[in-house]
């Protein structure tokens, strides 16, 4: 495992840090030895073959894996230096600051307006809700398309619009980090480009981690890229994922240190 | 046959066009025809009772389908006229009591099964098993059970409430099963998304997951209601019957199904006519409920 620290010598802050993290589902070790620093206001991409633990690591960052009963994390994860898994940390607060977006757009079964307003409302938002809904939708570049049909169901939108609605919903609770798990793989190319533009827009205010199977997408949007791989473990009858290489996207795609990374990014993976 | 060129048109003289034509006598075609015929016949046989029942009930019940039927009380045995107003209201009340009991319990039970069960416990498997057993219990047993608890000498006695509880026992398994399925269909990501915008577990379930599952849950509820509305045996033990108008839930109450049972066997023609009319009203009510169930399921969320 190579533990490249791309930030050495720069002034970039580290928002999220994983240190020597092993992740288990029951007795199955799914991911081993992940150490990574996620830089502030940058887009970090996770790439790698299916089943090597990218989603697992991503969900660890906002404690969503807490909901999977068999899941266990060994190692340390910090958010601005604070241990995310310390016993006095409220996972609900963590998730509000570190939002997540999934592959399939999943609006709540509510109106477009209430999709956005739901999060702020339950967290006791006291300000002007209409204004918050509008700014959130504007930031997700969806406002002009939906401003006349806010009371309609979120399902009335197209797939790409639904995904942007989910982005708007996430940023409405004013998080600092956006986790995106293959947010474009269910979308057409035009919607994908829209989401990518939106990400570049958002990264000025947010820190973004995106899991993607699309190499070009990674090169288009990501400042840093982590390549995950999996290796077969004898006896246990499964494979365990690990972070093979992490560095600036340029370097990972043009001049990777490891042969396996090179094979993957050039499509010679097998 | 000297044409060996690769041009497709050239080989037309060697190609037997007859081999493409459909031939009835081919054994696989024959088999198809026979099977299609057989299953068509089965459909007919299955539909005949349904059509005959509807037809017969309609023919016999329709001439008493007047305003009096819905507003008047049943006349004394032997005399003509009157209606079945008390039984219509009674069926609605007893079913409403049953729904008021079984829907909240059933839905909460399903929430527990699908949202909190699983994990390493096998309790939810036992509960599901138990629910399936309950679904197979004959309705008369449910009646006897409630009779033993609420009706027999020394207990409160025959009442609308006891009838409602007996029907609730019958409705419960259907509601648990359909609500359980409905909740399981709601994608995991929607729960995660709600939690990710800062919802607690119960906020997620009540405000996001349950609303998404409601169309399917409603279908289960209406189907259970449609089935319970026609039950007779459990009501004979519990709600009994009453020739009077609704008189509080602690007193015996008239219902359509028991009215049909009572009046159809009387030797007086006016009563038999009322029984037919009541059957028609009951069938129409059940039909209407089923149609409503169909309409609400059409708007599936996921
Ligand atoms: N909820 C879960 N329960 C048990 N095992 C899981 C669960 N989610 C993922 N895994 C296992 O963890 C490994 C990594 O999966 P995942 O993080 O989804 O990989 P990726 O996102 O890179 O495709 C896989 O072997 C997968 O089977
Ligand atoms: Mg994944």
ipTM value of the model? Answer: 0.77
| Mean predicted confidence (pLDDT) in A156-173 | 93
pLDDT at A129: 95
Residue B37 lies in a domain: no
Whole-angstrom distance, CA of residue A123 vs CA of residue B280: 54
Confidence of residue B42 (pLDDT cuts 50, 70, 90): very high
Lowest mean pLDDT among A60-74, A144-158, B4-18: B4-18
Which pLDDT band holds residue B116 (cuts at 50, 70, 90)? confident
Q: What is the pLDDT of residue B117?
A: 67
DSSP, res A157: S
Classify residue A136: in a domain, yes or no: no
Q: How many CB atoms lie within 10 A of CB B79?
A: 11
Residues with CB under 6 A from ligand 1: A 25, 30, 50-56, 68, 241
DSSP annotation of A79 reads: E
Q: What is the mean pLDDT of chain A?
A: 90
Query: The domain that contains A204 carries what CATH number?
Result: 3.40.50.300
- Residue B187 confidence (pLDDT) above 80: yes
pLDDT of residue A224: 97
Question: Do residues A85 and A72 make contact, with C-beta atoms less than 8 angstroms apart?
Answer: no
> pLDDT-derived band of residue A147, with 50, 70 and 90 as boundaries?
very high
Q: Is A232 exposed, middle or buried (0-12, 13-18, 19+ CB in 10 A)?
A: exposed
Give the pLDDT confidence of A19-46 residue by residue, as tens digits. Answer: 999 999 998 899 999 999 999 999 999 9
Task: Inform me whether the pLDDT recorded for A256 exceeds 90.
Answer: yes
B105 contacts chain A (CB < 8 A): no
* Protein residues near ligand 2, an ion, with CB under 5 A: A 55
In a domain, B48, yes or no: no
Asked if residue A202 is part of any domain, the answer here is: yes
How much is the average pLDDT of A105-132?
Answer: 93
Atom 11 of ligand 1, residue of closest alpha carbon: A30
Q: What is the CATH number of the domain that holds B134?
A: 1.10.3720.10
pLDDT of res. B3: 47
**Band of the pLDDT at A9, cuts 50, 70, 90?**
very low
Count of structural domains, chain A: 1
Tokens 């399903």 label which residue?
B110
Residue B2's pLDDT is what?
A: 47
Residue of A nearest to B210 (CA): A109
Q: Is residue B200 part of a domain?
A: yes
Assigned domain for A51 exists: yes
User: CA-to-CA distance for B83 and B77, rounded, in angstroms?
Assistant: 13
Task: Quickly list H helices, B62-84.
Answer: 67-71
**Interchain contact, A119 vs B203, CB within 8 Å:** no
In a domain, B53, yes or no: no
Question: What average pLDDT does this structure show over A101-106?
Answer: 91
Mean pLDDT of the residues in chain B: 88
With an 8 Å Cβ cutoff, the interface of chain A facing chain B consists of: 62, 64, 67, 69-70, 92-93, 95-96, 99-100, 102-104, 106, 108-110, 118-119, 122-123, 155, 166, 169-170, 172-173
**Average pLDDT of A106-116?**
94
The boundaries of the domain holding residue A204 are 2-106+178-265
How many angstroms separate the alpha carbon of residue A216 from the centre of ligand 2? 18
The answer to whether residue B121 sits within a structural domain is yes
| Structural domain of B275 | 88-298
Residue B67 lies in a domain: no
For residue B301, name the pLDDT band (cuts at 50, 70, 90). low
Check whether B175 has a pLDDT greater than 90: yes
pLDDT of residue B50: 87
Number of structural domains (chain B) is 1
A200-203 contacts at long range (C-beta below 8 A, 24 or more positions apart): A200/A43, A201/A139, A201/A141, A202/A139, A202/A167, A202/A171, A202/A178, A203/A41, A203/A42, A203/A43
pLDDT number for residue B92: 96
Ligand 1 atom showing the smallest separation from residue A23 Cα: 12
Please report the pLDDT score of residue B10 as a whole number. 52
Q: Evaluate whether residue A39 is within a structural domain.
A: yes
> Residue B137 pLDDT more than 60?
yes
Q: Is the pLDDT of residue A47 over 70?
A: yes
Nearest alpha-carbon partner for B268 in B69, B77, B63: B77
pTM of the model: 0.76
Q: What is the pLDDT of residue B47?
A: 93
For strands A224-233 and A238-248, give the pairing.
antiparallel
The separation between CA A138 and the C-alpha centre of its own chain, rounded to angstroms, equals 21
What is residue B1's predicted lDDT score, i.e. its pLDDT? 44
Q: How far apart are CA A45 and CA A176, in angstroms?
A: 17
A171 belongs to a structural domain: no
Greatest mean pLDDT range, A164-168, B8-12, B29-33: A164-168
Confidence tier at A187 by pLDDT (50, 70, 90): confident
The residue whose CB lies within 8 Å of the most ligand 1 atoms, and thus the one to mutate among A32, A46, A50, A56, is: A56
- Residue A263: count of CB within 10 angstroms of its CB: 14
């Amino acid at each position: 495992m190579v533990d490249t620290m791309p930030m050495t010598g720069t002034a970039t802050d580290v928002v999220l840090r994983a240190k020597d993290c092993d992740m288990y589902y029951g007795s199955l070790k799914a991911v081993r030895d992940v150490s990574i620093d996620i830089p502030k206001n940058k887009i970090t991409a996770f790439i790698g073959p299916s089943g090597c633990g990218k989603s697992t690591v991503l969900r660890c960052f906002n404690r969503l894996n807490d909901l999977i009963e068999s899941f266990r994390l060994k190692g340390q994860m910090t958010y601005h230096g604070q241990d995310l898994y310390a016993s006095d940390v409220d996972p609900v607060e963590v998730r509000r600051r570190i939002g997540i977006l999934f592959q399939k757009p999943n609006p709540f079964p509510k109106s477009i307006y209430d999709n956005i307003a739901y999060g702020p409302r339950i967290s006791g938002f006291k300000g002007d809700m209409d204004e918050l809904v509008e700014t959130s939708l504007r930031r997700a570049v969806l406002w002009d398309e939906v401003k006349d049909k806010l009371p309609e169901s979120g399902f009335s939108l197209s797939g790409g619009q639904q995904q942007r609605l989910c982005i708007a919903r996430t940023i409405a609770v004013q998080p600092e980090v956006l986790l995106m798990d293959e947010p474009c793989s269910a979308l057409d190319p035009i919607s994908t480009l829209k989401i990518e533009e939106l990400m570049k827009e958002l990264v000025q205010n947010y820190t973004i981690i995106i899991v993607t199977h699309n190499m070009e997408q990674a090169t288009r949007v990501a400042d840093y890229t982590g390549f995950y791989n999996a290796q077969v473990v004898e006896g246990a009858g499964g494979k365990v994922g690990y972070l093979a290489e992490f560095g600036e996207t340029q370097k990972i795609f043009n001049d990777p240190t490891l042969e396996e990374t090179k094979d993957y990014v050039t499509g010679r993976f097998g | 046959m000297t044409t060996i060129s690769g041009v497709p048109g050239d080989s037309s003289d060697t190609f037997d066009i007859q081999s493409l034509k459909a031939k009835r006598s081919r054994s696989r075609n024959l088999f198809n025809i026979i099977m299609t015929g057989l299953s068509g016949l089965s459909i007919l046989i299955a539909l005949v009772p349904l059509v005959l029942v509807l037809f017969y009930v309609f023919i016999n019940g329709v001439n008493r389908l007047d305003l009096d039927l819905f507003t008047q009380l049943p006349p004394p045995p032997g005399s003509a006229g009157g209606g079945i107003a008390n039984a219509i209201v009674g069926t609605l009340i007893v079913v409403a009591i049953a729904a008021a009991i079984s829907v909240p319990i059933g839905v909460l039970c399903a929430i527990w099964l699908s949202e909190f069960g699983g994990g390493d416990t096998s309790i939810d498997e036992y509960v599901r098993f138990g629910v399936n057993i309950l679904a197979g219990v004959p309705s008369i047993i449910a009646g006897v059970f409630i009779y033993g608890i609420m009706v027999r000498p020394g207990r409160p006695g025959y009442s609308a409430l006891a009838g409602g509880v007996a029907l609730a026992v019958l409705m419960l398994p259907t509601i648990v099963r359909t609500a359980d399925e409905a909740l399981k269909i709601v994608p995991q990501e929607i729960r995660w998304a709600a939690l990710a915008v800062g919802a607690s577990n119960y906020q997620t379930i009540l405000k996001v997951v349950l609303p998404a599952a409601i169309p399917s849950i409603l279908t289960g509820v209406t189907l259970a209601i449609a089935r319970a509305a026609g039950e007779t045996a459990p009501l004979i033990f519990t709600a009994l019957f009453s020739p009077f108008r609704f008189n509080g839930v602690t007193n015996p109450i008239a219902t359509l199904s028991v009215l049909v049972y009572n009046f159809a066997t009387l030797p007086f023609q006016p009563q038999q006519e009322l029984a037919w009319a009541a059957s028609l009203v009951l069938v129409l009510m059940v039909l209407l409920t089923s149609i409503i169930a169909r309409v609400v399921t059409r708007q599936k969320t996921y």
